[in-house]
Amino acid sequence: MKRQQIEIEADLQDLVPNFLEHKRSDIGFIRLAIDQRDFQAVSEIGHKMKGEGGSFGFDAVTVMGAAFEQAALHQDVASLNHTLEELAEYLESIDVVYI
């Protein structure tokens, strides 16, 4: 994935690094939940991501959270794995710029 700049309001500067670290940690939790077929756990993480993403200025996280939630509802392991890969690539591709 190509590098991308995400502009975030400066008043969130103290919160964003922790938020991103939590999203990186979520990758491991989601991977484990998928492996264990714990669709409820994936759905809960996705639901939380859906709410948090936009609050912090990361709309893509909101979209991926919704995708996790829907795929978990349908127990669609292929879609879950695809979205997990997208999330990992996205988090590695962003550069945050505070405005």
Read off the tokens for 10. 């400066």
Assign 1 a pLDDT band (cuts: 50, 70, 90): low
Q: Write down the domain spans for the chain.
A: 4-98
Each residue's pLDDT tens digit, 46-89: 999 999 998 899 999 999 999 999 999 999 999 999 999 999 99
Cα–Cα distance for residue pair 75/99, rounded to 1 Å: 40
Residue 75: how many CB atoms within 10 A of its CB? 11
Each residue's pLDDT tens digit, 12-44: 999 999 999 999 999 999 999 999 999 999 999
For residue 95, the cross-strand partners are 5
Q: Please say whether the structural domain 4-98 has been given the CATH code 1.20.120.160.
A: yes
Query: 0.75 cut: is pTM over it?
Result: yes
